[in-house]
């Protein structure tokens, strides 16, 4: 259920793990299946930069996907993500295992999902989120909905929300400002 805007920062301040579905969140949901085998997926660079910055300030970032994919494995490795769960058809079970393995509580987690298979996890986390183009049954049940669609900035906006609430976003911006001598 969407929260009043003034309650979102309070929940975002407690986030220690940003957990993301992949297809429809980190991508636009498109999977290109190649005739000779293999597949490809488009990943948005700004989303990736946001994940790198979150990790830099001590917030863990992880992926929770019901579909195994070599493209996802490769992207996670490029970003240095150490929490990657793929191929579990029951996301609730995979989420419970992830929490136990890495020592997080449900309140520590912001999760972004876009479809019905994400609802079991979205219903448990401290900050449930969705991209703008998530299905209506997800958008109507999460705390916060990005202005951006999946694969086009929704993850980056979530990272900025969390880091701003924790007083860390200004430091990231300051790192990139050109200093005059």
Give pLDDT tens digits for 3-18.
777 899 999 999 999 9
Task: Give me the pLDDT at residue 89, please.
Answer: 79
What is the spatial order of strands in the sheet that 83-86 belongs to? 83-86, 60-65, 17-20, 109-112, 127-130, 144-145
Tell me which residue of 108, 135, 128 sits closest to 2, measured CA to CA: 128
Q: Give the integer Cα–Cα distance in Å for 141 and 155.
A: 18
- pTM, to two decimals: 0.94
Averaged over 30-52, what is the pLDDT? Answer: 91
List, in order of start, the domains of the chain with CATH numbers. 15-109+159-174 (3.40.50.1000)
Whether the Cβ atoms of residue 144 and residue 2 lie closer than 8 Å to each other: yes
């Amino acid at each position: 259920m969407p929260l009043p805007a003034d309650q979102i920062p309070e929940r975002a301040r407690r986030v220690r793990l940003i957990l993301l579905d992949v297809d429809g969140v980190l991508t636009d949901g498109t999977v290109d299946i190649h005739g000779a085998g293999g597949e490809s997926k488009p990943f948005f660079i700004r989303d990736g930069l946001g994940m790198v910055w979150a990790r830099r300030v001590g917030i863990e970032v992880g992926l929770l996907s019901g579909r195994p994919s070599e493209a996802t494995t490769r992207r996670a490795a490029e970003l240095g993500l150490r929490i990657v769960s793929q191929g579990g058809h029951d996301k609730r079970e995979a989420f419970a295992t992830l929490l136990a393995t890495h020592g997080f509580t449900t309140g520590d987690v912001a999760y972004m999902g876009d479809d019905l298979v994400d609802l079991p996890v979205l219903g448990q986390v401290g900050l449930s989120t969705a991209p703008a183009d998530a299905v209506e049954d997800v958008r109507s049940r999460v705390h916060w909905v990005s202005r951006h669609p999946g694969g086009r900035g929704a993850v980056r906006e979530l990272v900025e929300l969390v880091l701003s609430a924790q007083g860390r976003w200004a430091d990231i911006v300051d790192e990139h400002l050109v200093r005059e001598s």
